[in-house]
Amino acid sequence: MRKKINALLLIGIIGSVVCGSHFAVTYGRALWGPSDIWWTPISMALPLDETTQEFNILVSNELLQDHLKRRSLTATDLEGKSYQVVSDDIEVRLNNWHKVKASFLHSAVFAAFMLGVSITCLILGAVQVLTRRDGRKETGELL
Look at the chain and report how many structural domains it folds into.
Answer: 2
For 33-60, write each residue's pLDDT tens digit.
998 899 999 999 999 989 888 889 999 9
> What's the mean per-residue pLDDT of the chain?
89
pLDDT classification of 29: cutoffs 50, 70, 90: very high
Buried b (16+ CB within 10 A) or exposed e, 106-122: ebbeebbebbeebeebb
Q: Residues 100, 90: one domain?
A: no
- Please give the residue range of the domain that contains residue 70: 40-94
Q: Of 53, 68, 94, which marks where a domain is finished? A: 94
Q: Residues 25, 68: one domain?
A: no
Q: Residues 80, 102: one domain?
A: no
For 54-74, write each residue's pLDDT tens digit.
889 999 999 999 999 999 999
- What pTM, to 2 d.p., does this model score? 0.69
What gap in Å lies between CA 143 and CA 7, rounded to an integer? Answer: 9
CB 129 within 8 A of CB 44: no
